[in-house]
Structure 1
Amino acid sequence: MMNESVARVAQEREYIGNSRCSIARTMDLVGDRWTILVLREAYFRVRRFEEFQQNLKIARNILTCRLKHLVLNGIFERVQYLDRPRRFEYHFTEKGLDLYPTILALMVWGDRWLADLDGPPLVLRHIPCEHSLSPRITCSECGLEIKAREVTYAKGEDNHWQKAKNLIKSRRRLYEGDPQEQRTCSVARTVELVGDRWTFLIIREAFFGVRRFEQFQNHLDIARNILTDRLQRLVAHDIFYRSRYQQRPERFEYRLTEKGLDLYPVALTLMNWGDRWLTEEDTPPLLLRHKRCRHEFRPMLTCNSCGGEVKAREVRFR
């Protein structure tokens, strides 16, 4: 029985590591700190270029690049509000609004792990039930909260990546300085730790059972110096811990801490969004099964008070 279990896990890891799951595609599109913070501002109903720039203290060329990228990929749409001179607002499309669970998942993680002694900087209220909101990621079939160790994976369609890669319009990545936190919100703190593409793909691999340096490198095709830097950072911030598995020469595995495991809702929301918007098949590239109810499921962002699905336009902040 033990040998069968080990073989099954090894096969699952091999598939996951070599597949182009929807997390990678989503991170290709929104996987940098500035893009995520621009999205956050839009959820706070910021619409105009000058407002984005003032709130984020972002260079004009970087903001222009991010806004063009979000429009090109159908996340924002431009709406003219002034004729002379011509001026535009940036409004969410349905595709953009559907990223809301990811932003809230980032906020919830930051509230739990990075907030100061005064508690979460923002209080959320779910408008339909008028109760304070602490959103959860739950199973679409049984309604129970999803935990990282309660999900198994199976292979979906083979041809998703070849079709989906053409749906992402590339952009030149610009980086200039660090985002300055002008708004009291845990999203910026979370993004500072895990908001770049490589960091989150390393975390994704850890959720799929990858533990060792060479496995991370082979699965992600990542340069050794970049991988070393990201792993050291994840250990320093208590998202991973090192566990020695060999003495001579000394070798370590990298395992998720409780703090790291608590990032699983972020991973699920990224995957769910990519499954919906970056594939052309009815079946997602990776099928999720909830161990507790034994059903395939999709992750849902729900209210802890009423159990209803949480939508972007049904939440108030204070």
Structure 2
Amino acid sequence: MLIEVSVTVEPQLIRTCSIWRALEVVGDAPTVLVIEAIWLGTRRFDALRKRTGLLKALLSDRLKRLIANGMIEKCPSSDGGNRHEYVLTQKGRDLYWTSLMLLRWEQRWGAGRTKLRVELTHKSCGQVFEPEPACKACNQTIDATQVEWEPGPGVGLMEPVYSRRRQQRETTQDATTLFDEAARIIGDRWASLIMRSIFTNINRFDDIRRDTAIATNILAERLAWLTSIGVIRQEQYVDSPPRYEYRLRRKGVDYYPALLMLMMWGDKYFCSPAGPPVLLTHRDCGQRLEPQVVCSHCREPLEAHEVDFRLIEVAGAEDEKHAVSA
């Protein structure tokens, strides 16, 4: 006789996080490249395809997703006719500080495969500058090692819901992008969630797995990749059998502002009515951390309409450069 037994499996719950929710929208390398291209003034489909190097079907899919998520709008072309162009909504424009931090990291730490660099000028002070992450209270540059994390009023647990793994970026020789390695990190949701865990002092394999609900094989692969590109390092803490912790290298510490600005964006658009899931304190001044991006010259907060940029094409091994149209 067959006896039917009903087994209830409790869902795995993980802590809520605005970074997690933000990555559901932008945690995909093609999406990051499309947003970057629109920021640089590329708004028509064919021009977007050339700048990003994405295949036609992949670009079309990501544009549809961005429209559905309220990041961009499809509008009639400004010069009339039957053509259309894609423009950022306010929600999309609010990723400006995240984009500046990705740019800062790429120009400091990128592997040098990008075909473009950018020179930024702050119209308010007239100086060429580097964007700097700063504490609003003391206006000092933020360093990940000087930030404390604690649960916020919106902290809670949620069941992880993963969409299908993202496609990898397809490129052509004509692709021109400011982000390469930065896009591959923030555009890989698993890698970004691992970085989130390590930034909050979760350093061991099993602890990271519980914090992120990433499958064991994917977690092992991403940890190995982040180690290979110099973002994190392994430290053995048990001899037999060997057990390891994962610690940030300086390259990884300097990636923190990009995730910080992404968290702020996620807090604005995705956190619960109770408030943000995480609160930050800046140890240098002892105040609640409200991050902002400022001009390295005058230390004033940056707004997109106050910044001019000049694109510089890297010509190859000789690193010859010339201005190109944005």
Q: Same fold (TM over 0.5)?
A: yes
Give the counterpart letter for 2:30 in structure 1: W
Among 232, 238, 262, the alignment partner of 1:246 is: 238
Aligned residues: 297
Pick aligned residue for 1:262 from 254, 259, 268: 254
CA distance in 1, matches of 2:169, 2:176: 20
1:315 is aligned to 307
Could you say which residue in structure 2 is the equivalent of 1:189? 181
Contact 1:160–1:281 (8 Å) recurs in 2: no
Partner of 1:106: 102
CA distance in 2, matches of 1:115, 1:132: 23
Q: What is the one-letter code of the residue matched to 2:48? A: F
Aligned to 1:53: 49
CA deviations over 1:241-265 (Å, ceiling 9, x no partner):
1111011101111110111111110
Q: Which segment is superposed worse, 184-193 or 205-214? A: 184-193
TM-score normalized by structure 1?
0.85
- Equivalent residue for 1:281? 273
Larger Rg: 2
Q: What does the per-residue CA deviation read over 1:148-178, in whole Å, with 9 as the maximum and x for residues that have no partner?
A: 111112222247787xx9xx9x987662553
Q: Which residue of 2 aligns with 1:13?
A: none
Q: 1:215 to 1:280 in 2, by over 3 A?
A: closer
Inter-CA distance 161–79: structure 2 relative to 1 (3 Å threshold): farther
Quote the residue 1:23 is aligned against: 19
Q: Which residue of 2 is the match for residue 207 of structure 1?
A: 199
Question: Does the aligned pair in 1 maintain the 2:198–2:248 contact within 8 Å?
Answer: yes
Q: Distance in 1 between matches of 2:144 and 2:54?
A: 35
Residues 67-97 of structure 1: CA deviation (Å, up to 9, x unaligned): 1111111111121238997432111111111
Q: 136-145 or 84-93: which moved more?
A: 84-93
Task: State the alpha-carbon separation in 2 of the partners of residues 181 and 144 from structure 1.
Answer: 41
Q: Which residue does the alignment assign to 2:148?
A: 152
- The yes-or-no answer on 1:304 pairing with 2:296 is yes
User: Which has a greater percent of strand?
Assistant: 2
Q: Structure 1 pair 202/217, CA: closer, same or farther in 2 (3 Å)?
A: same
Residue type of the alignment partner of 1:80: P
Cα separation, 1, equivalents of 2:169 and 2:111: 23
How much has 1:31 moved relative to structure 2?
Answer: 0.3
1:293 aligns with 2:285: yes
Superposed CA deviations along residues 209-260 of structure 1, whole A, max 9, x for unmatched, are: 0111111111111111101110111111111111110111011111101111
Higher helix share: 1
User: Which residue among 50, 75, 79 is the counterpart of 2:75?
Assistant: 79
Q: 1:121 aligns with which of 117, 120, 123?
A: 117
SS of residue in 1 equivalent to 2:86? strand
Q: Quote how far apart the aligned CAs of 1:53 are.
A: 1.1
Q: Does the 8 Å CA contact 1:106/1:186 hold for their aligned counterparts?
A: no
Paired residues of 2:152 and 2:277 also in contact (CA < 8 A): yes
Distance in 2, matches of 1:280 and 1:220, equals 19
Counterpart of 2:85 in structure 1 is: 89
The corresponding residue for 1:8 is: none
Once the two structures are superposed, the pairs formed by residues 209-248 of structure 1 within 5 Å of their partners are 209-248=201-240
Which amino acid counterpart does residue 147 of structure 2 have in structure 1? V
SS at match of 2:118: coil
The answer to whether the Cα contact below 8 Å between 2:52 and 2:177 also exists between their aligned partners in 1 is no
Relative to 1, partners in 2 of residues 1:222 and 1:115: Cα closer, same or farther, differing over 3 Å? closer
Instruction: Tell me if 1:133 matches 2:129.
Output: yes
Percent identity (aligned): 34
Look up the equivalent residue of 1:53 and give its one-letter code: R
TM-score by length of 2: 0.83
CA deviation vs aligned residue, 1:114-139 (integer Å, no higher than 9, x gap): 2659xx82211112211111011111
State the 1:180 CA deviation.
Answer: 4.6
Q: Which residue does 1:37 correspond to in 2?
A: 33
What secondary structure, in the 3-state scheme, does the structure 1 residue paired with 2:179 have? helix
Give the unaligned 5+ runs of structure 1: 1-16
What residue number does 2:263 align with?
271
Distance 1:112 1:84, change over 3 A: closer
Query: Residues 261 and 291 of structure 2 are in contact (CA less than 8 Å); yes or no, is this contact kept in structure 1?
Result: yes
Question: 2:234·2:247 contact (CA, 8 Å) conserved in 1?
Answer: yes
Deviates more, 1:176-185 or 1:208-217: 176-185
Q: Is the 8 A contact 1:206 1:256 kept in 2?
A: yes
The separation in 2 between residues aligned to 1:35 and 1:26, in whole angstroms, is 12
